[in-house]
Amino acid sequence: MSLKNYIKNKKVNHFTFFDIEVFVKDPITNNISAKMVLNKIRELIPSFMLRGIDSIYIGNFEFLNKRKVQAMYENSSIFVTNKQDTLEDMIDDIVHEISHSLEEIYGSFIYSDGKIEREFLQKRKKLWMSLKSKNIDVDLSDFLKTGFSYKFDNFLYQEVGYPLLSAITANLFYSPYAATSLREYYANGFETFFLKEDIDRLKSISPTLYNKIANLIINYGEEPR
């Protein structure tokens, strides 16, 4: 039996949210309401951006724990941990995965002109130069790969370390996590565009990414705020 069928056959909290089936397998920590989270997301995200999602599953999932991630998008479904610190944290997790769902629908529009990739790689090169200037000897070729790599991710967070990484990426990436891959660069920008107050900083640091997300709304849905 698949995980989805297992959850559906168990006695779980189930409701429908704008044609999306929501299954709460395990109670969300800190008395966070799934309906409140989703209603807030609906206020923030244009409705057309939810069309690639059929189901949302909330609970303690071993595959999330093994990957050390809070949420994951797969096969038109979002899986998100029930272990949440705040309402805002859970909103962040789900919006991040919404951004990945849109890659399946609008991937050609997002990536095919190569503009975001060029902006991302320019930043990666500057990051490489900054590390070299601090006598951290790394191969430039690793910085020119756009896909996610556990080896590169561990290098950034284990060898370089978050404090230094945060300092040297402050004027390159909206957050250090955006440096990990092209897809996460886009997803981090998407989160910022819709959830963060300091959207002017995103526009200043990553103008191409900002414009791409704004034009996604103009071309396929509602006007940007």
Domain boundaries, the chain: 3-107, 113-220
Q: Look at the alpha carbons of 195, 200, 203, 204 in this order and tell me if their dihedral is positive or negative.
A: negative
Dump strand ranges (E) for 30-180.
Answer: 55-59, 71-74, 77-81
- The answer, as to whether pTM is greater than 0.85, is yes
Task: Please give the chain's pLDDT, 225 residues, in tens.
Answer: 466 665 655 667 899 998 999 999 999 999 999 999 999 999 999 999 999 999 999 999 999 999 889 999 999 999 999 999 999 999 999 999 999 999 999 999 999 999 999 999 999 999 999 999 999 888 999 999 999 998 999 899 888 998 999 999 999 999 999 999 999 999 999 999 999 778 999 999 999 999 999 999 999 985 443
CATH architecture, range 3-107:
2-Layer Sandwich (3.30)
Of 104, 78, 102, nearest to 91 (Cα)?
A: 78
Whole-Å CA distances, 48 to 42, 172, 218, 223: 11, 30, 12, 12
